Amino acid sequence: MSFIQLDHITKSFSDAGKPAVDKLSLSIKEGEILSLLGPSGCGKTTTLRMIAGFENPSAGSIHIDDAVVVNENRVLPPEKRGIGMVFQDYALFPHMTIEKNIMFGLNKWKKRDKKKRAAEVLELVELEAYADRYPTELSGGQQQRVALARALAPKPHVVLMDEPFSNLDAGLREKMRFDVTNILRRANITAIIVTHDQKDAFAVSDRVVVMNEGVIQQIAAPKEMYRCPKNCFVAQFVGKTNLLTGQMDHDLKSIHTHIGKVSLPEESKQQLEKVTLSIRPEGCMLSEQGDYCGRVERVTYGGEYQELHVKLNDDSALTQAPMVIYAPVEQDVEIGTIVSFDIKPELVALVE
């Protein structure tokens, strides 16, 4: 059963032009961690703000725990929605201690209960020792955890987080992905996290919603999203890929493309003639006598792997983009050499 239900939510900021969010429908299960992933301006924050009640939809309805929070007849104010919000800049009060920051959202609670609850959530985020410090005396990651503790303090049903990791450097970001997920799981709370970073989305969520121009492109668990992107947009936005067009073979198990015949992971259910394929760079493996071969045009050292751009030999391929392939770093590859490679069918997908 769904805990949060969005039905055909639309938000237009002006009469002209495309809506910022366009007939978006989504259901989220209790305890689920879901992320909204998409490029800048695709409507992620607007969607989050409509759930929180800071923005009203132009059309559509939202239910939380079976209650209408907004539809054409009813708008529940933000403070009555049982939602905790963590803002991108954390929005901690600099002149208040960490404990006071957390107690701020508990203004209707008794003083003793406030202190007890602040201690509880500080323990949850492992910052018990920091209650009397001021926000400026904390690291970015610690401030982030305080912001989450403050959002959790009033015991909301749902936590919404807008770009929670964007202010953190790469190392801390990785740690915080892990910490935030742990805290949310321990609090057993339903959460929606907005991000434009695929790694954030994959690391923290049960399911990922990819959006573009106000429209949902695909909803899937991270692994499925990566292995079976639904369309070209998702295939390119979620990781790197090679997009190739081709003709379906009559066996429905392979595609004829300009690089040769490419096998699908399983028989296609659709009997389309012209199709588009997504082939992940790590699905192409250099091999002495591979099925495909081409000339190396570019080699980029990437640390864990090297990225090769390989132009296929076929004359008709001159107008085609080179294939992007990841090769092990210990392998010596020179620009201009001919390499051959195989393609792992598990990293091949038909896309719309």
Ligand X SMILES: Nc1ncnc2c1ncn2[C@@H]1O[C@H](COP(=O)(O)OP(=O)(O)OP(=O)(O)O)[C@@H](O)[C@H]1O
Residues that bind Mg ion (CB under 5 A): 45
Closest approach, Cβ 11 to ligand X, in A, equals 8
Closest approach, Cβ 211 to ligand X, in A, equals 7
Neighbours of 111 (CB within 10 A): 9
Nearer to ligand X, 43 or 283 (CB): 43
Nearer to ligand X, 18 or 298 (CB): 18
CB-facing half-sphere around the CA of 206: CA atoms within 13 A: 14
Q: Which residues contact 177 (CB under 8 A, 6 or more apart)?
A: 165, 199, 200, 203, 204
Neighbours of 329 (CB within 10 A): 13
Picking from 151, 149, 161, 100, the residue whose alpha carbon sits closest to that of residue 123 is 149
Q: Is the dihedral of CA 75, 80, 81, 83 positive or negative?
A: positive
Chain residues in the site for ligand X (CB under 6 A): 13, 20, 38, 40-46, 196
Nearer to ligand X, 23 or 196 (CB): 196
Nearer to ligand X, 24 or 277 (CB): 24
Pick one of ligand X, Mg ion, none as the site partner of residue 40 (Cβ within 5 to 8 A by kind).
ligand X
Closest approach, Cβ 251 to ligand X, in A, equals 42
Q: How far apart are CA 277 and CA 257, in angstroms?
A: 9
Q: Do 212 and 39 meet the contact criterion of CB atoms below 8 Å apart? A: yes
Closest approach, Cβ 229 to ligand X, in A, equals 19
Closest approach, Cβ 19 to ligand X, in A, equals 8
Pick one of ligand X, Mg ion, none as the site partner of residue 141 (Cβ within 5 to 8 A by kind).
none
Q: Give the dihedral of Cα atoms 14, 20, 22, 24; nearest 10 deg.
A: -140
Q: Which residue's CB comes closest to Mg ion?
A: 45
Nearer to Mg ion, 35 or 45 (CB): 45
